Structure 1
């Protein structure tokens, strides 16, 4: 009986494949005239994620659904198939697959390469591959198609995962016939990322550079498309402009990058579909606010092997938390109404896909939304819902025949029909042997035998007087059962199938033969022994940010009254003893003695000092994936504000040192670097909320060794400039080009009528627009500098173009030219006593800050270093020792003076009524190495409290211990673990370059 059924299955499969050959291809033989209509009768048909019909008929003709429902009229020539007791679901659609695509080989090293080495009329940058067509490159992979069909997939959206602009994806079938027949839709979506992929070109070397390149490419494509006669051919831009009519999918590497790319889309006027990373739940409200559809991976972290307690210390709390909570990601997104689709992308083995979906369901996702995410959601978001994603009339006949509930562990996919082609995944008769049996050996009742997992991974257990271990094998109608009665006694039962029952003989060692039977009693799903689902309980906390010392609830502002403090006003009042300060709604509202509490939280400051918050004029904390865009000499188009990392623990550490605001600067790899970001250290807020609203724009310039690459090594001898003379020419050339650009726009804007209609607007150039902002004093320069000759040079260049340099940072030879700096109107931000760390700082002296300040130059002390940023109060104090500076003037170098340099002194930098309540309560004198910041406030919100910090340290220890115990239990239960690999903290400095920033 079994063999006869298998033969019929093979005949049916062959028939289905032959009958749908494309008519444009010649027939080698006789045309098959058999029926191409199938009626699958009696199943529960899940027409879509939100509609199912019990005892329905699914009628298909060729590759399309003809009808579905009850009382369907079945044509006489239809092939009828009884699928009673089964469930029929739409086959899965993977929206993010590299099936049939060539392998991407990333560059292992980056030699200097300014221009693209791609041959042909293509874009100047190798990472822009808009001309790529997945359909034109696709090759059928029969073995991989077979493995994906087995997991329930019927169709895939395929793309080449290479580059920042990756070209167009295609929809392909998993029938596995030929490229011509398997491609269903040749152009589905435009694919994007922030990963340069296989490009060996220098630019970009950072995430912010990748964003800038993507932004400029959009503008270039629009400009190119508007050209009536551009005078040159760029197949890449032509393809990109055409691809903009399609849905646009962009890949993200983490939840903050998802927010970044959505921000880019908003700026450009597009709503991206975001290929997520699985950690979206960590910024759930912000993710929901994007209004984006997401494609979600289900590659959950494996449990860590933490038996070695020292190895366990190397795991970040964030990673421990994510291991525990990652399966809840989809359910949490669904709770916010976020639409998403699932993809197996990121899984080493596609067989983990459906089990991980089931795990997500255990963690809070509903089965309905899970089915939606596998079928209709990817179809709808990519504009394919008219063809695929459900079993409505005229949709592709892609469906699964399943024994059991698809989302239960004991469900078995029996068949996968793709475009009307039938593929048998599991033998129906063998699968039917899964169930409960009453086992009897030689008239002895052994109890209830549960069989599951047939035919691929059979499992067997016996519940009677004792729970017995055992194993089961089934092949060609013959069954072998091995029962472990005790540590010494094993019994092997050999037999065969009789209908739904099993029977055979037990051969004992003494030659005795005993009859055994296993009488089928029903499905295992009805077993009383079925394991009860346990409610998921988390040992980890949800905090903002999702790292150690995050907030379980984001802090809010409140009215506060500080009493009896020693107040450092930073204004004409100087230092005031025994004063009160009241704050409300994030502002300082009153300063005096004996102020009324009037509903405010009162903090006794007796013996303590209250100051304005420290402002770090030169910082590189809280920047993601590259502080330098080092690919070109001029990178004015890049923006640090695009890559703010609000999860950086250094934000919290610096709050503990009294820092409340920072300028996040581009590095010093090129003469004209990128635009900086002015932020307040609002720990727990998202990147956008850290930015200081309505602040002036700044940009980083650099002079000296770094920009001419004399300290980069022998490989880097090609990029201009290579000398300090060349550095000056980069500035002048950039400003000249910017002025020419300005004139071209003036000419265009001056046109009217027909002349303007017949003239295309100049190409928008973000680099030149930024340089024009500098010339027009709309953006201000902070320049990395050391040597007096170069300091003088840049001031002369600025004067020649009628603007002024705002700040020289580092400026360790500033004491030599302080008078000239004063005349120019430039400020200084320097180190207190750094010297001798490279040749060009050999003449630095610790009196530098005092000497510049004495000449009337507004002077600040900065960190340029994550660790130094925690003790800027002590750095300021060094000018008392070396230069005899007054305490108040020294304190201003890390508060009021940087506020002036950043044009923020109307909001911060002093304790003045009306200014932002950015305050620090110190345990003692703020310039003392023994003093600690007890409370640090930004906008009147206490973001650091020394007593709360002590509580958090204890809570973190307990949380880590609980999670470690949970991991140990996982390993003990047999779960596969992965070794711990220490994650090094990335601390950026001026000269750090991330060629492999992804």
Structure 2
């Protein structure tokens, strides 16, 4: 009878997976798909909806009925699931299941791959890829996903900036692909990561990636209008998938905002993957209206037992360990829609541990379940198939031993498309627990765990060597002797029954004696332990202070976002940089972010009064050439012209160098592209508003600037792998000739049929029309001459030559052309093309009528530009007042912001620094640095913050040591160090 039943079930299984029109060559006639019922379970149909003693009726892989007292048709295969819980299987919205990672192409740095004819010019743009073309079902990977609770995964090839389409797959190891593939083209995917499949050099930076994504979408729109004379399968694919859900893998909180801004520019609302640190900018992310797919790879504690290693860890990283698990709760509290993903975890099996941590930090179980079921199903537009347990939907559900997200709950089964996958046999008796055995005057304890796969045996308090094995209802244990010199073994056998509070067994001693015993489960002790653990958990929750979230959330951030004040500086020596010059015993009133009044005996009701007697008040220092506060690379080095990229896309508001610059009196910086190519990227002119988001730091109505470069860097003199044009100084000139000629031709096509919007050409056209200024990296006299001649041929003026260490050789020509000079005070001989540099350069240019500034180009020098200004007095006898203008009013003029800042004048922005001494004194220190009437650096507050940082580090170190002592996983301390960019820094 058993053999007949087995044969029938085999046929049922086959016919359930074969296509109905496939020929059947078996000797036994086909049997229709069986109807199955799971009864008497607690069923959670969706988050917050639960039915007791309910049943699910399944046929053809779908739910045909669900609820209490449902009618079960005759002939149904019934399984009694009393005592278990049933939940919808999880939905993974961002997987790479079944995708083979492409091999990485050899590094060659080529600009184009001529072998990809008929596709977009950039090989990192691969929207023509379809996941189904790379897909191969992986039963082992599927089993791991099922063990974590998943029943379906939306997957795609994680490779490229434009990655093509994804597909939705059911994790059904008992089926075939004709059933498992639920949607074969679902969603269009993008990222900020280059493709492994090409060695094409462009882009080399985050800003280049963003520019490439923008331009590819502009090109797709142009192509869709029938303007192209050639076929482009990539652009066709971009257009064909624009109505699918659009996904972009961004990463951290700043990249989420960047991705959303990019989406706004190209007319897309992206679903954004990322945001493990989103809680730090939760309001800004909420304002994007973007849905997130959220990784939860919370950091393990650092092993801080060694104080020398502990100092390797940044305070921000220590905070992330403490605060990160609160991220899901805080996003839910803010009303941000997100699905949780296993992306970023070492294994899907780590999911439950991370979820439990998030729940410990306040995420509700309903929120956790929704983030794994209903929300991802809606995001991927598959809510009619998966995500809840309803009539007509796929029979994707998990059977568990108890409520999900409880410590001891196990997943017994994962049913996918009505096909049962047994993960743990729910009929097997659970023998885990702590047992005591009294035998022959000795006391033994048996601690069994892991479904009877692990055991710890103690005789009194002595731990014995032990091994355990299980065969159905029988457990055998072998232990060593308490006396370690005795090499014999004791064997124990236990027979399980449904009542595991008392287990009968026999012991076989080494001398041949056989004895019966009873192992008594430590129920009362376990209950006490559970109660103690519960109390500990409640205490932990009561004390779950995640610590300060500051603006920005790094060391020296403020607990409240700094705001404008009304401030009256009294009796200061004021360096006006205006006709009044330097005036003693002057008052300055700041109100509504502006310099309201400058005079004597001023008063203002309600103003904060600062006694500046004996101190000096100046306008803030302006750094014309800086590379701090930039993310993802300072150079887009892939092409010889990258006018399409902009530093404004990649401003990093968390760079500690911003705060350090404020401590040195800097209030404004021009963040420049590097000097890897003749025509570089566009600048960002920022106010150093520490604690504000990037867009709030960029000057409103900011003057438009771009970086050009000449000399060794652009012709790649010191790069071993430099293969890109140009390779000579005469080639550099030709680059400018070629691109400005192209820009002129581009302007002629504007407004004509078939006009193709080109962000690079738009920028160059702005230069020709006088709408964008050029800052040019330069050293050698001949090239400076060349650059001015090129500009004059094309009808524009070079705004600023930066570095320009040979400016003294042609300062008269610079003045005649109208170019300013922003130079170093006394750098020379650090490479061949600066061998002729002299420290009198700045003074000589100034004497010839060139607007002259000193810049830093260095994260360390920018903190002492006041001392650099003093060198103009030493080298060249520039007056103190004029020397001070080298770092204040003159760079303001070069940046065309002198109507707003650079001097102390009524109506100008309140960008001010109060110094304890003469500002050109090497001992001078800013006491207060103010930007737009907001105090961003206060030396007294700085002292308090230093003490607070030290205290917080010590507290977090102690908590990490406690975590280690409790047996939690830790990691070796590591140093997260931001790259300090220079002109020639390359990252790719």
Q: TM-score, normalised by structure 1?
A: 0.93
The correspondence of residues 731-810 of structure 1 with structure 2, limited to 5 A, is: 731-748=736-753, 761-810=754-803
Other-structure match for 1:758: none
Q: CA deviation at 1:505?
A: 1.2
From 546, 549, 552, the equivalent of 1:545 is 552
| Cα 1:880/1:626, change in 2 over 3 Å | same
Aligned mates of 1:345, 1:594 — CA distance in 2: 64
From 409, 412, 426, the equivalent of 2:410 is 412
- Is the contact between residue 586 and residue 917 of structure 1 (CA under 8 Å) also seen in structure 2? yes
- Is the contact between residue 539 and residue 962 of structure 1 (CA under 8 Å) also seen in structure 2? no
- Is the contact between residue 17 and residue 421 of structure 1 (CA under 8 Å) also seen in structure 2? no
Between the two proteins, the alignment pairs up a number of residues equal to: 973
- The answer to whether residue 603 in structure 2 is matched with residue 593 in structure 1 is no
Aligned mates of 1:560, 1:872 — CA distance in 2: 26
Aligned mates of 1:891, 1:618 — CA distance in 2: 17
Post-superposition Cα deviations, 1:527-548, rounded to whole Å, max 9, x if no partner, equal 7635212325347432222221
Other-structure match for 2:655: 648
Q: CA deviation at 1:870?
A: 0.5
* SS in structure 2 at match of 1:557: coil
Aligned mates of 2:816, 2:378 — CA distance in 1: 64
From 369, 377, 380, the equivalent of 1:379 is 377
| Cα 1:404/1:874, change in 2 over 3 Å | same
Other-structure match for 1:474: 470
| Cα 1:945/1:83, change in 2 over 3 Å | same
Q: CA deviation at 1:35?
A: 4.5
* SS in structure 2 at match of 1:251: strand
Aligned mates of 1:814, 1:528 — CA distance in 2: 79
Q: CA deviation at 1:943?
A: 0.7
Single out whichever of 9-18 and 641-650 deviates more from structure 2. Answer: 9-18
Other-structure match for 1:88: 86
* SS in structure 2 at match of 1:746: coil
- The answer to whether residue 211 in structure 2 is matched with residue 204 in structure 1 is no
From 582, 586, 593, the equivalent of 1:579 is 586
Other-structure match for 2:132: 135
Q: CA deviation at 1:71?
A: 2.5
Single out whichever of 296-305 and 870-879 deviates more from structure 2. Answer: 296-305
| Cα 1:762/1:25, change in 2 over 3 Å | farther
- The answer to whether residue 712 in structure 2 is matched with residue 692 in structure 1 is no
Single out whichever of 686-695 and 72-81 deviates more from structure 2. Answer: 72-81
From 145, 149, 156, the equivalent of 1:159 is 156
The correspondence of residues 273-352 of structure 1 with structure 2, limited to 5 A, is: 273-352=271-350
* SS in structure 1 at match of 2:94: strand
- Is the contact between residue 589 and residue 913 of structure 1 (CA under 8 Å) also seen in structure 2? yes
Q: CA deviation at 1:61?
A: 1.4
Other-structure match for 1:683: 690
Other-structure match for 1:563: 570
Q: CA deviation at 1:26?
A: 3.7
| Cα 1:647/1:239, change in 2 over 3 Å | same
- The answer to whether residue 147 in structure 2 is matched with residue 150 in structure 1 is yes
Aligned mates of 1:871, 1:801 — CA distance in 2: 39
Q: CA deviation at 1:913?
A: 1.0
Aligned mates of 2:454, 2:366 — CA distance in 1: 29
Aligned mates of 2:438, 2:10 — CA distance in 1: 41
Other-structure match for 2:940: 947
Q: TM-score, normalised by structure 2?
A: 0.94
Gaps of 5+ in 2: none
Aligned mates of 1:471, 1:41 — CA distance in 2: 38
Other-structure match for 1:175: 172
| Cα 1:838/1:13, change in 2 over 3 Å | farther
Post-superposition Cα deviations, 1:601-622, rounded to whole Å, max 9, x if no partner, equal 1111111000010010110000
Aligned mates of 1:916, 1:10 — CA distance in 2: 87
- Is the contact between residue 173 and residue 183 of structure 1 (CA under 8 Å) also seen in structure 2? yes
Q: CA deviation at 1:281?
A: 1.6
Q: CA deviation at 1:436?
A: 7.9
Other-structure match for 2:732: 727
Aligned mates of 1:291, 1:190 — CA distance in 2: 19
Other-structure match for 2:666: 659
Aligned mates of 1:609, 1:443 — CA distance in 2: 90
* SS in structure 2 at match of 1:274: strand
Other-structure match for 2:518: 517
Q: CA deviation at 1:98?
A: 1.2
Post-superposition Cα deviations, 1:741-784, rounded to whole Å, max 9, x if no partner, equal 11112333xxxxxxxxxxxx322111111111111111111111
The correspondence of residues 574-973 of structure 1 with structure 2, limited to 5 A, is: 574-713=581-720, 715-716=721-722, 718-748=723-753, 761-973=754-966
RMSD over aligned CA atoms reads 2.8
Post-superposition Cα deviations, 1:36-85, rounded to whole Å, max 9, x if no partner, equal 22221111111112322122111221111112212322222322221122
| Cα 1:910/1:52, change in 2 over 3 Å | same
Other-structure match for 1:233: 231
Aligned mates of 1:115, 1:92 — CA distance in 2: 42
Q: CA deviation at 1:458?
A: 4.8
Other-structure match for 1:125: 122
Q: CA deviation at 1:872?
A: 0.5
Post-superposition Cα deviations, 1:693-725, rounded to whole Å, max 9, x if no partner, equal 111111001111111222223x32x32222222
Post-superposition Cα deviations, 1:626-655, rounded to whole Å, max 9, x if no partner, equal 101111111000011001111101001100
Aligned mates of 2:357, 2:4 — CA distance in 1: 37
| Cα 1:106/1:940, change in 2 over 3 Å | farther
Other-structure match for 1:362: 360
Aligned mates of 1:348, 1:185 — CA distance in 2: 27
Q: CA deviation at 1:826?
A: 1.5
| Cα 1:684/1:388, change in 2 over 3 Å | same
- Is the contact between residue 207 and residue 643 of structure 1 (CA under 8 Å) also seen in structure 2? yes
Q: CA deviation at 1:140?
A: 1.0
Aligned mates of 2:719, 2:461 — CA distance in 1: 76
Other-structure match for 1:754: none
* SS in structure 2 at match of 1:506: strand
* SS in structure 2 at match of 1:567: strand
Q: CA deviation at 1:925?
A: 0.3
- Is the contact between residue 619 and residue 663 of structure 1 (CA under 8 Å) also seen in structure 2? yes
Q: CA deviation at 1:293?
A: 1.0
Aligned mates of 1:430, 1:89 — CA distance in 2: 21
- The answer to whether residue 19 in structure 2 is matched with residue 19 in structure 1 is no
Other-structure match for 1:751: none
Post-superposition Cα deviations, 1:74-105, rounded to whole Å, max 9, x if no partner, equal 22232222112211011111111111111134
Post-superposition Cα deviations, 1:333-379, rounded to whole Å, max 9, x if no partner, equal 11111111111122222211112111111111110010011111111
Aligned mates of 1:496, 1:540 — CA distance in 2: 51
| Cα 1:876/1:61, change in 2 over 3 Å | same
Q: CA deviation at 1:116?
A: 2.2
Aligned mates of 1:126, 1:625 — CA distance in 2: 20
Aligned mates of 1:773, 1:181 — CA distance in 2: 56
Other-structure match for 1:755: none
Aligned mates of 1:334, 1:944 — CA distance in 2: 34
| Cα 1:147/1:27, change in 2 over 3 Å | farther
| Cα 1:13/1:232, change in 2 over 3 Å | same
- Is the contact between residue 35 and residue 77 of structure 1 (CA under 8 Å) also seen in structure 2? no
Gaps of 5+ in 1: 749-760
Aligned mates of 1:353, 1:824 — CA distance in 2: 65
* SS in structure 2 at match of 1:706: coil
Other-structure match for 1:389: 387
Aligned mates of 1:817, 1:898 — CA distance in 2: 20
Post-superposition Cα deviations, 1:564-607, rounded to whole Å, max 9, x if no partner, equal 11001110111110111111121111111111141111111111
Q: CA deviation at 1:254?
A: 1.6
